[in-house]
A = this chain, B = another copy of it.
């Protein structure tokens, strides 16, 4: 089964692309000074890819392992595996620049083929970048400092291997895309319940490698909480981890693989908890007078329950703009205050019980119920934001997101510091932004903040953003937050990640990498901080 390809220089299904409504274009012009883009995006046929740098004979070696049909070095295959889906990634592709294109794309069909590819590449010092859905927004697919590299596209490894109905677990192959996984599990009456915004295109292996968090993680758990066993191929052999849900037999090595972003191995099998498909779902909206008041209400639910499966809170700006409901952008304003969205899933009885319990808590915390409307609108449009970004880029605007998490008592300072950093940097560059934020995930001890930034592209959108992102990242680390709650580290966050885990933490990661990947071929430059920091790009 051939997996459908995503729009090569944007997001998702090409048929779903749609221009911005005219009133929004007017609003962007009046509010942010957005002007139409000077030139349309370059066509795929006109993208320039570098000459292949693979050593002679490498393609033949790889074809011997996976079969001729499964090694591809044509321009389109290479362009389609170039970088990920950050706005900067897209802007560069739209301008026709693909210097980070892999030298070839290799599609293994089995764990043993992955092992053999890794060994062959280690012997020839060819870097390997595991490729699932290709949805990284943190530079996780653009290795640094390599001579030549292949994208290891796992789409052929897309089986639901088995379901254990007694243990309620399923064994999934890494290349299975999330919607296909849900469809296969649904035939047996189960769901993963993992719905990040990248859901429609992301892969199971990617979820594990990126330590993914979904929109319903309050109810179903983060992906790292769902994984009970893993198989990982490395140039030095295989890791098979997980014999019980929990163990006291040493450190939890599964948690060393989850979040390893292809730098420590290629995940070839994932055993996850599954749950019966919920009989009932209910989504609803609530309004709070302020982000602080709404945040306190969410904290109550996170600490004392009942906790909905989905729980989000937009700040005043995001609520006003209506990004909580992307389809409403530029339409009727969503009203004052801050919009919260709650989603309940489970048996009808449990949904009713939790919904009533949560309503009591939210009312006592000052919330005003808005009924099902805003919740259902959100659920309907939950995967649409990346499409909206394409339309914004087409219209000459710049749009990007970043996210972080902290303990509850640090959240207010984190919110203020990141907003100030983004606003200051972009305003200083002559492209004053609209900065919006929502609480995307809650825990008993803390929460995550998800920021969306829209501005004019200006003369150098990538440069402007690089500076703003750097200021925001500094603010995050200085306030004590984590550099990413769900996007990951990649290459973009690596320097701040190094500050987060400290020199000894970084040294530990390097020691692990050196052991499983002595030739250093696995996603070089991604995740693992170098011993001597590279000279930072100044973006000037």
- A contact residues vs B (CB 8 Å cutoff): 164, 166-169, 210-213, 222, 224, 228, 234, 236-241, 243-253, 255-261, 264, 273, 275-276, 299, 303-305, 350, 404-410, 441, 443-446, 448, 480-489, 493, 497, 500-505, 507-512, 514-516, 527
Is the beta-carbon distance between A445 and B273 smaller than 8 angstroms? Answer: yes
Number of copies of this chain in the oligomer?
2
Q: Given the known inter-chain contacts A247-B485, A251-B260, A484-B248, please indicate yes or no for A504 contacting B237, CB distance below 8 A.
A: yes
A502 and B213 in contact (CB under 8 A), knowing A246-B405, A257-B251, A407-B167? no
Query: Looking at the complex, which one of B243, B445, B482, B508 makes contact with A256 (CB distance below 8 Å)?
Result: B508
A169: chain B residues within 8 A (beta carbon)? 407, 445
Residues of B with C-beta under 8 A to A485: 244, 246-248
Q: How far is the CA of A448 from the CA of B228 in the complex (A)?
A: 15
Given A504-B236, A504-B516, verify A509-B168 contact (CB < 8 Å).
no
* A261-B253 CB under 8 A given contacts A502-B240, A504-B234: no
A249 contacts B500, C-beta separation under 8 Å: yes
Judge whether B249 and A252 touch: CB under 8 Å: no
Q: Does A508 lie within 8 Å of B253, measured CB to CB?
A: yes
A/B interface sample: 22 pairs, CB < 8 A: A166-B408, A167-B407, A167-B409, A168-B303, A211-B248, A213-B248, A224-B246, A224-B252, A238-B504, A243-B407, A243-B480, A243-B482, A244-B405, A244-B448, A246-B441, A246-B485, A248-B484, A248-B488, A249-B500, A273-B445, A508-B515, A511-B511
A241-B505, A508-B253 given as contacts; is B259 within 8 A of A409 (CB)?
A: no
Minimum CB–CB distance from A209 to chain B (whole Å) comes to 10
Among B250, B256, B407, the residue within 8 A (CB) of A251 is: B256
A489–B250 touching, CB < 8 Å: yes
Question: Which residue of B has the minimal Cβ distance to A260?
Answer: B251
How far apart are the CA atoms of A304 and B497 in the complex, in Å?
Answer: 38
Please indicate the chain B residues that have their CB under 8 angstroms from the CB of A493 in the complex.
Answer: 249
Separation in Å of the A45 CB from the closest CB of chain B? 36
Q: Whole-angstrom distance between the alpha carbons of A191 and B94 in the complex?
A: 56
- Complex Cα distance, B248 from A486, in Å, reads 5
